[in-house]
Chain A
Amino acid sequence: MTLPLAAHTFLGIRGAYWNVTALKVAAVLGIALGGAGAFVYLFLFKMMSHMQSRLGPMEAGPHGSMQLMAEVLKFLQKEDVFPERADRWVFAAAPAVVLMSTFMIYVVIPAGPRLVVANLDTGILFALAVSSLSVIGVLMAGWSSANKYSLIGGLRAAGQLIAYELPLVLAVVGVVMQAGSLSLQRIVYSQAHFKLFGVGGFGLFAIPQFVGLFLFLVAAQAELGQTPFDMPVAESEVVTGYMTEYTGLRFLIFFIGEFATGFALAGIGATLFLGGWYFPGYGLHWGNLAWARELVGLGVLVAKVMVIAFLIFWVRFTFPRFREDQLQAFAWKYLIPLSLVNILVTGVAKVAVHA
């Protein structure tokens, strides 16, 4: 029995199974690490600094652009400390679990008509499912550190991630209903063809699904553990929560995981609500310029990701944080009922339009 042909091609490159797989892994690694790095530099270093009337890193490279390299090198040189009573294997494996769940989200995000690692029919379901795997890594880290602050942080994180998983999924349901598909690629195409009262050419679902977009942004903020939902890593209370005992490379992996997940969730948000790689005027049928088409799609997607990320980080640098119980109450009492209403309204509207 042979594997289907699709498994042996990527971006039109045919090859042996392992060669193509290596290419895909390299693509995911490049996008994830590059995206995380861009987030850290642009938002955490520069945007935050300018919002706080300071300059941020300025010495390493022009405008501190090499600061990130210096930070990574610093972390690599640090000693890898295990707490005395830590559960060594669990402690060592936890960052890998978190990072794995992050990388798996990238597999389904389309950045062009063909620039997608795996065009799954149930793409969005897969993405949301694997993104919630990170909670296992967080719990592992919190429990195995043998530190009370880590334990409190880990349990807070678990409670929060599970509570906000639900509004995240329910916010997406509206888009899925409107597009009529779970495949991210099909959602992009249906946004390209989307018409509001007979007027087309918007290329995005953010107009009819503005409630969904709001819910998605709030839930994504909570999934990422960004202020005002950063209770699990609240520096002034539980030091850094489940990351307290981590040093060096393992801390770096958590750190990359945080921002790479941010990039991935912003990518999903851009794909679902802002039209993904498509923009009005994008030639869906540009004959021979296949590579250019993919690259333009990637650029458009990254630009939209930056818009969503800007909103997320803007809130992060402005708000104080919610308390644990307030955060849960916010999810269960406000976000989930609102998302259910959104689903109801979307369903009624869809039936009314098609009837």
Chain B
Amino acid sequence: MTVTDYQKTAYVASQAADARISFDIEAEGMTLNIGPQHPATHGTLRIIVRLDGEQVIWADPVPGYMHRGYEKLCEVRDYAQVTTLINRIDWLGSFANEVPFILAAEQLMGIEAPPRAQYIRTILFEMARIANISLFLGDMGVQLGALTPVFFAFRDREHVLNLIESATGGRFHPNFDRIGGLKDDLPKGWIDECKQAMRRIRSFCDEMDDLLVGNAVFQQRTRGIGVIPRDIALEYGVSGPNARASGIDWDLRRDEDLPLAWKHCDWKVWTHPDGDSFARYWVRLQETREATRIIEQLCDGLPAGPIRAKVPARIRVPRGEVFVHTENPLGEMGYYVVSDGSPGGPFRCKIRTPSFSNISIVPWLLQGVYVPDVITILASLYFILGDIDR
């Protein structure tokens, strides 16, 4: 068969599957196709829900509408080019995607970045976290019908994006991390501006405290909605703030010994015992505050020195395999990199992204909830489509 024939059969099969879903289930209730084009899925996630009245009796997420084949593409790019690709996985916290991959490559080559580079990496990593999570803090309001918080989020996120831009040259996709260190040093006056921006972010967090967390309607909509018990979260591999909101005290920034600067500052891992949507919001709010504190401490203790270790001009990663994972804004992100010692890129690169595991709990979580709560739960799980589909 030719390519077009394959396409034709695939199309017919998918149409038949769609028709079958509608016919079989229509008899028992209503099937609602949320997505791939729907305002609540912020991207192209499709969720098929079967409804009895407004109650969900069965739900199935259908990812893959944005699959870009990054794992395969990594095999035909060299190490320097891969960072450009993986910037686009979690597009709101791009810099945080680069770090674990570069750390994996460094680990294979047996080099370590100098302390200054480690500090700056950590600062930018936490900035990516703020850029990512502050949008969530506003977006959760939009999903629940409050329009104002998201504008405040965009307003204050701008300060962080400006800082990332002035340091790296890219607002959303910095592509700044290099094997052995960083591309450039920080520009002059950056540290002062950074501290100012952190104060703004903290006042933004206080605003969110007033506007949403303290709001009776918000609490009514989120408390006890979409409860993930601790053991279920562990079984499904839920990670990051979602796991910490279920009372799992697990944070790779603290628990994993990485050549990054978190160990040099004083900060706290926030957990919440409830595991509901409110807990997930609350944990992320506290994490944003904690991130500003981490950045301020790192700015104060920034050591002098080179920003790049001695690395050969022509990078050749020796034979071997390694798995490095970090605590990204969305959860545990890991790269399993296999190198065959050839001068090109990785032989195989498996990307473990947090959102993919986090939405795997959706069918379990959505059973028996009402349609408005579907939106609350999806918003509070907080996934990025690029992070699900890569």
- What is the distance, in angstroms, from A320's C-beta to the closest C-beta of chain B? 4
Contacts A152-B54, A237-B372, A318-B211; A326 near B145 (Cβ below 8 A)? no
The segment out of A48-56, A69-77, A265-273 that lies at the interface is A48-56
Whether A324 contacts B372 by the Cβ 8 Å rule is: yes
Q: Are A321 and B145 in contact (CB under 8 A)?
A: yes
B145 and A227 within 8 A (CB) = yes
Query: What are 30 A-B pairs with beta-carbon distances under 8 A?
Result: A52-B147, A52-B152, A53-B151, A53-B152, A53-B155, A148-B30, A148-B32, A152-B54, A227-B145, A227-B146, A230-B145, A236-B39, A236-B40, A236-B142, A237-B40, A237-B371, A239-B39, A318-B148, A319-B146, A320-B141, A320-B144, A320-B212, A321-B144, A321-B146, A322-B221, A323-B372, A324-B370, A324-B372, A326-B220, A326-B221
Which residues of chain B are within 8 angstroms of A239 by Cβ–Cβ distance?
Answer: 38-39
A52-B147, A236-B145, A239-B38 known; 12 new pairs, CB 8 Å cut-off, are A152-B371, A237-B40, A237-B374, A317-B147, A318-B148, A319-B146, A319-B215, A320-B146, A321-B217, A323-B220, A323-B221, A324-B54
Alpha-carbon separation in the docked complex, A4 to B388 (Å): 74
- Chain B residues with CB under 8 Å of A52's CB are 147-148, 151-152
| Contact call B148/A322, Cβ cutoff below 8 A | no
Q: Interface 1/0s, chain B 143-185, versus A by CB < 8 A? A: 1111110011001000000000000000000000000000000
Residue ranges of A at the interface with B (Cβ–Cβ < 8 Å): 48, 51-54, 148-149, 152, 227-228, 230-231, 234-239, 317-326
Query: In the complex, what residues of A have CB within 8 A of residue B39's CB?
Result: 235-236, 239
- Of residues B144, B217, B372, B375, which shows the largest number of chain A Cβ atoms within 10 Å of its Cβ? B372
Q: Which residues of the partner chain B approach A149 to less than 8 Å between Cβ atoms?
A: 32
We find that the number of chain B residues with CB closer than 8 angstroms to chain A is 31
The interface centre, meaning the residue of A48, A237, A322 with most chain B CB atoms within 10 A of its CB, is A237
Q: How far is the CA of A238 from the CA of B30 in the complex (A)?
A: 14
A319 near B375: Cβ-Cβ < 8 Å: no
Q: How many A-B residue pairs have CB under 8 A?
A: 81
Which of A48, A52, A234, A236 neighbours the largest number of chain B CB atoms within 10 Å of its CB? A236
* Contact B145 A234, beta carbon cutoff 8 Å: yes
**Closest B residue to A235 using CB positions:** B39
Using a CB–CB distance below 8 Å, which chain B residues touch chain A?
30, 32, 38-40, 54, 141-148, 151-152, 155, 211-212, 215, 217-218, 220-221, 370-375, 379
Q: Would you call B40 and A322 a contact (CB within 8 A)?
A: no
Q: Do residues B218 and A320 form an inter-chain contact, with CB atoms below 8 A?
A: yes
Contacts of A235 in B (CB 8 A): 39
A234→B373 CA distance, assembly (Å):
12
- Give the distance in Å from the alpha carbon of A48 to the alpha carbon of B155 in the complex: 15
Report the Cα distance A118→B141, complex, angstroms.
44
Q: Given A148-B30, A237-B40, is A323 in contact with B373 using a C-beta cutoff of 8 Å? A: yes
Nearest CB in chain B to that of A326: its residue: B220
B148 adjacent to A51 (CB under 8 Å): yes
Partner of B217, one of A51, A152, A228, A237: A228
Question: Which residue from chain A places its CB closest to the CB of B211 in the assembled complex?
Answer: A318
Known interface pairs A322-B217, A322-B220; A228-B370 also in contact (CB < 8 Å): no
Report chain A residues within 8 Å CB of B373.
323
- Give the chain A neighbours of B379 by CB distance below 8 A: 236
Q: Are A231 and B221 in contact (CB under 8 A)?
A: no
Return chain A residues, CB-CB under 8 Å to B221.
320-323, 326
A133→B167 CA distance, assembly (Å)? 60
For B145, the chain A residues whose CB sits under 8 A away are 227-228, 230, 234, 236, 319-321
B370 touches A325 (CB 8 A): yes
Asked, given contacts A227-B145, A231-B372, whether A320 binds B30 with beta carbons under 8 Å apart, the answer is: no
Q: Which A residues are in CB contact (< 8 Å) with B374?
A: 237
A234 touching B148, Cβ below 8 Å: no
- Chain B residue with Cβ nearest A54: B151
Q: How far is the CA of A234 from the CA of B218 in the complex (A)?
A: 15
CA distance A317 to B146 in the complex (A): 7
B40–A317 CB distance below 8 A: no
With a CB–CB cut-off of 8 A, which chain B residues contact A230? 145
A79–B323 Cα distance when bound, in Å, is 55
Query: Beyond A230-B145, A320-B146, A320-B212, is A237–B220 a contact (Cβ under 8 Å)?
Result: no
